[in-house]
Structure 1
């Protein structure tokens, strides 16, 4: 894949992650080509790549739309996400090098600064680095790739969760327990804490469902 096409994919993926392109929104190839100053061919190729990642749905003769997840799909995907993260945490507790532990502590500190500044968007990006550091620490390349792929798919929804009241502070506190468990080498505890951190159920699920209109209202407007 060329750098240019990777950049284009990342740019459109980012617009989906932040809700600028909303679930269910039609993706106009001509409009996107104009926005990015390219022809329609690379846009079409990029949409096919995003469809293979599950972020876009291409419908015969009707063009592409941003993928939508229903409540049941969301629960199922977060359930799998929580198990994958738990596995990454368990392995990271056993396999992280001292340098990787330092990188995890640095990522945790960056989350603290974003939390203190009460900036959900900044926290979201630091949070992504935090989780990515744990994936890398598993030293299992196949697991890393699969976990990243699902994280990507759920990015808009994980981002939305951080806008729920008190979620930043709670998220950071949960991270703190995870970091301590990994640094101590307690894989079972790290796995349990990550599973609970990522899983959406009960009130967390109700809050996410109540927030979903924020993700789709631009599209409806």
Structure 2
């Protein structure tokens, strides 16, 4: 999957936000970022626009673009809502998905498997995004799909960090396979419960995520 320059810059900046390298309230100056990444201001501006849409930065009067990141409590609440969205979409997809949806789900699952086999967390991150989007679309409710994607983008940098937890990528792939199995069997309740569990980060998993954020920030 080819990633253009502005998307690559977006991924780099969002990871710095997630790891704490860029702190909440910190100003993001286009000229400084362009010089640091060795690019023109145009792809930086495009990347910042994408981050603004995702809710990771905000534009303040007299300051321009600044980092807007959630605290741990808000982050947990956002993951809880994300898990609910996943369950809703999966339950609907089990009933409503078309042949084309099924084909896309299988394609994205295979792409995730290739990335996992290669141990490539960055590739897995992007293919994982495609996998979840395919479920949202297969649910057949465009409004819910849009809301799910908006929150998915908001949590993107933190979901990326999750993949660095030991064995998380392999575990994630197994969870994808279980979700697909339930979807193809048309079991709405099982699809929903597996999709919810896949995204929920309560307990140890949330602790692992916070540890990853803190360790990355210290590097």
Q: Could you give the per-residue CA deviations for residues 155-210 of structure 1, whole angstroms, max 9, x where no partner exists?
A: 00000000000101111111111001111111111111111110111110110010
- Following the alignment from structure 2 to structure 1, what is the Cα–Cα distance between the partners of residues 47 and 195? 33
Shift of 1:52: 4.8
Structure-1 residue corresponding to 2:123: 122
Equivalent residues in 2 for 1:174-193 (5 A)?
174-193=175-194
1:47 and 1:56 in contact (8 A); partners too: yes
Q: Which moved more, 1:151-160 or 1:140-149?
A: 140-149
Instruction: Return 5+ residue gaps in structure 2 as ranges.
Output: none
47 and 115 in structure 1: CA distance in 2 versus 1, 3 angstrom threshold = closer
2:94 and 2:188 in contact (8 A); partners too: yes
SS in 2 for 1:178: helix
**So what's the TM-score if we normalise by structure 2?**
0.84
Q: Could you give the per-residue CA deviations for residues 74-130 of structure 1, whole angstroms, max 9, x where no partner exists?
A: 100000000011111111111111221122112112211221222211211111111
Structure-2 residue corresponding to 1:106: 107
Does residue 1:15 correspond to 2:12, yes or no? yes
2:109 and 2:177 in contact (8 A); partners too: yes
- Following the alignment from structure 2 to structure 1, what is the Cα–Cα distance between the partners of residues 121 and 48? 28
Aligned length, in residue pairs: 210
SS in 2 for 1:164: coil
RMSD, aligned CA: 2.6
Q: Which moved more, 1:59-68 or 1:169-178?
A: 59-68
Structure-1 residue corresponding to 2:206: 205
- Within the candidate set 13, 37, 41, 2:40 is matched to 37
Shift of 1:138: 1.1
Structure-2 residue corresponding to 1:163: 164
Q: Could you give the per-residue CA deviations for residues 28-67 of structure 1, whole angstroms, max 9, x where no partner exists?
A: 122245554247xx93x87466435411033443342222
**So what's the TM-score if we normalise by structure 1?**
0.83
Shift of 1:13: 3.0
